[in-house]
């Protein structure tokens, strides 16, 4: 349902831009994006324990709206929705661990500046730099540390990609985006939450793009 709403929103924005005379500078894309977060680690040197936070891998639906300015730059807004689980492990002095698992529905909203690289009629590479936010909506009603709440974390984005046009309006887009963000704590301060750890998320994607 969320993926359909995103697609409708992107199509509506593209139609509005077309009506305002920006037809040759607007494109919309829809596709799939992998979400592969790296694990994070925190060491407690006082108690000689450590904690690990990791996220299960997933695939999400992606919608993209891009405004081109000439041949060298563009502004891009993308929205991705996916579902995965946040896993928090408290490890004791002897290696024993307590696992807390929170399943979440996530929404990423990322704005990026696009730098066009030297291209041909068939291959149009680019680099991107930007940022936005990730919203984590937990499905779990309760954990041993309390009731997890919806959490929003800022994110820094970088990456690169290539458009492969086939026809006057249609293109295939392959993209890699990296996100750096804080791990969600769901507004809980008790262990294993509230670690404030940073996470790098690898996000490859494939899209079909329509140019107006």
Model confidence at 59: pLDDT above 90: yes
Torsion angle in degrees (nearest 10) through CA of 150, 185, 60, 159: 120
Residue written as tokens 């607007």? Answer: 26
Mean pLDDT of the chain: 82
pLDDT confidence band for 50 (50 / 70 / 90): low
Q: Name the strand (E) or helix (H) holding 202.
A: strand 198-211
Closest-CA residue to 108 (of 77, 68, 65): 77
* Greater pLDDT, 167 or 1: 167
Beta strands in 49-197 (DSSP E): 49-55, 58-69, 73-91, 97-116, 124-138, 151-165, 170-182
* Greater pLDDT, 189 or 154: 154
What is residue 40's predicted lDDT score, i.e. its pLDDT? 75
Indicate whether this model's pTM tops 0.85: no
State the average pLDDT over residues 85-97: 65
State the average pLDDT over residues 64-75: 90
Rounded Cα distance, 145 and 99, in Å: 12
Q: What is the pLDDT of residues 178-210, one digit of tens each?
A: 999 988 888 887 666 766 778 899 999 999 999
State the average pLDDT over residues 27-47: 80
Contacts of 167 (CB under 8 A, 6+ apart): none
* Greater pLDDT, 63 or 47: 63
What is residue 17's predicted lDDT score, i.e. its pLDDT? 44
pLDDT confidence band for 124 (50 / 70 / 90): very high
Residue written as tokens 């509506």? Answer: 12
pLDDT over 70 for what percent of the chain?
74
């Amino acid at each position: 349902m969320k993926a359909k709403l995103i697609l409708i929103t992107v199509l509506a924005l593209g139609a509005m831009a077309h009506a305002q005379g920006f037809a040759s500078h607007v494109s919309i894309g829809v596709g799939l994006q992998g979400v592969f977060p790296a694990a994070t680690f925190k060491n407690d040197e006082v108690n000689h324990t450590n904690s690990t936070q990791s996220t299960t891998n997933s695939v999400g639906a992606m919608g993209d709206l891009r405004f081109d300015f000439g041949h060298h730059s563009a502004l891009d807004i993308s929205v991705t929705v996916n579902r995965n689980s946040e896993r928090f492990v408290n490890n004791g002095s002897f290696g024993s661990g307590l696992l807390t698992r929170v399943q979440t529905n996530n929404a990423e909203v990322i704005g990026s500046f696009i730098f066009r690289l030297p291209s041909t009629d068939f291959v149009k590479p680019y680099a991107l730099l930007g940022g936005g936010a990730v919203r984590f909506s937990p499905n779990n009603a309760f954990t041993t540390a309390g009731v997890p709440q919806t959490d929003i974390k800022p994110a820094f984005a970088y990456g690169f990609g290539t458009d492969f046009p086939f026809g006057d309006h249609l293109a295939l887009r392959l993209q890699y985006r990296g996100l750096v963000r804080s791990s969600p704590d769901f507004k809980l301060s008790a262990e294993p939450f509230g670690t404030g750890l940073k996470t790098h998320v690898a996000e490859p994607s494939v899209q079909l793009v329509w140019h107006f």
